[in-house]
Amino acid sequence: MKVFGGSASKSLTEKIAKHLSLEASFLDVFVFPDKEKRIRVREKVLDDDCIIIQSTNTPPDENYMELFLSIDCLKRSGAKSVKAFVPYLGYQRQDHIFRDGEAVSAEVIAGILDKSGLLEIYSFDLHTPKIIDMFNIPVHHLSALPVFSRKIKKDFNLGDLVLVSPDMGGIRRIKELSELLGNIPFATVLKNRNLNSGKIQDGQLDGDVRGKIALIVDDIIATGITIADTSNLLINSGVSKVFAFATHAVFAGRASEILQKSPLERVFVSDTIEIPDDKQFPKLEILSISEIAAEALKS
């Protein structure tokens, strides 16, 4: 097996390859003056099983196009099989029609990947499990929750904790994490969201949090507004401290500043997305999913 990294996931590729006791390889990416990309594989891949690792975070369109072209160049170079490990699957939140006239972008992406010649695809913490059903090729849905569970067991007294989902859509996620932690209690924010600003309106808690250390658990932090608003709601509801755990650190716009200024003590994220230096902040801690990814690829 040969492991290739896309330009959006170089560091993670090296970590995964190390766990697999393999050498990480990288494709040549040449960008023309008009921003078109030319992708080329230099080494021989004839009759090899190949993995291409590429997250499709900001800028998603560029990262997806690089992924599509990378798959094609490996197939045309004679690879026996090509699998894609897409730690963060861009456009996954556009999984249904919210308003008349919209595209279902997640289905469009799934259709392109289906026709690309991929054997199968791996990804972490999809926004909803129904995304798997949009694909005709096998999708291996992995989770960062075991990584978060180990960190929580190491750094916290479980009896002091309450898990919090910032919305009803995250109930399944916090129930799974609760089970990993010995069925510790959890609560959910019941809210209305302003579709223009993304801010929580009239947020209320379903669950007892007073006097507890609250751990907000989510799949994605995009603008940081939801997590920050939830942390304020929890402090006002009587928790002693608030921490956040999220798999995908999209960190769009002023997210880093918003999170740093929030009541959060610390923000734990995984490395499904490589976070540039200018998006990192003092409260941030990055945990690696590379071992889980490598074990999945081995099996």
Q: HEC string of 162-184?
A: EEEECCHHHHHHHHHHHHHCCCC
112, amino acid identity: I
Buried b (16+ CB within 10 A) or exposed e, 36-64: eeebebeeebeebebbbbbbbbbebeebb
Greatest C-alpha distance within the chain: 61
Q: Across the strands, what pairs with 204?
A: 190
Cα of first residue to Cα of last residue in the chain, in angstroms, is: 12
Supply the pLDDT for residue 196: 54
Please name each of the domains of the chain with its CATH number. 2-142 (3.40.50.2020), 145-288 (3.40.50.2020)
Residue 299: per-residue pLDDT: 84
Tokens of 246: 């999220």
The 3-state DSSP composition of the chain as helix, strand, coil percent (nearest 5) reads 35, 25, 40
> How far is it, in rounded angstroms, from Cα 213 to Cα 159?
9
Considering 83, 191, 212, 241, which one is annotated as catalytic?
A: 191
Give me the tens of pLDDT residue by residue for the chain, a chain 299 residues long.
999 999 999 999 999 999 999 999 999 999 999 999 999 999 999 999 999 999 999 999 999 999 999 999 999 999 999 999 999 999 999 999 988 999 999 999 999 999 999 999 999 999 998 999 999 999 999 999 999 999 999 999 999 999 999 988 889 999 999 999 999 999 999 866 555 554 555 568 888 899 999 999 999 999 999 999 999 999 999 999 999 999 999 999 999 999 999 999 999 999 999 999 999 999 999 999 999 999 999 98
d(CA 22, CA 270): 22
Please name the residues in contact with 18: beta carbons below 8 A apart, sequence gap of 6 or more: 24, 290
Pairing state of beta strands 2-5 and 49-53? parallel
Cα distance between residue 211 and residue 54, in whole Å? 42
Q: How far apart are CA 181 and CA 148, in angstroms?
A: 10
Distance CA 182, CA 168 (A): 22
The 8-class DSSP code of residue 201 comes to E
**What integer pLDDT is reported at residue 191 of this predicted model?**
66
Residues 247, 117: Cα–Cα separation, whole Å:
28
**pLDDT value at residue 292:** 98
What's the pLDDT at 169? Answer: 84
Question: Which residue is associated with the tokens 């456009």?
Answer: 91
Residue 98, pLDDT score: 87
pTM of the predicted model over 0.95: no
- Candidates 67, 116, 112; CA nearest to 88 is 67
- At residue 258, the 3 state secondary structure works out as helix
Q: How many residues does the chain have?
A: 299
Neighbouring residues of 154: CB distance < 8 A, sequence distance ≥ 6:
none
212 belongs to the catalytic site: no
Report pLDDT for 99: 87
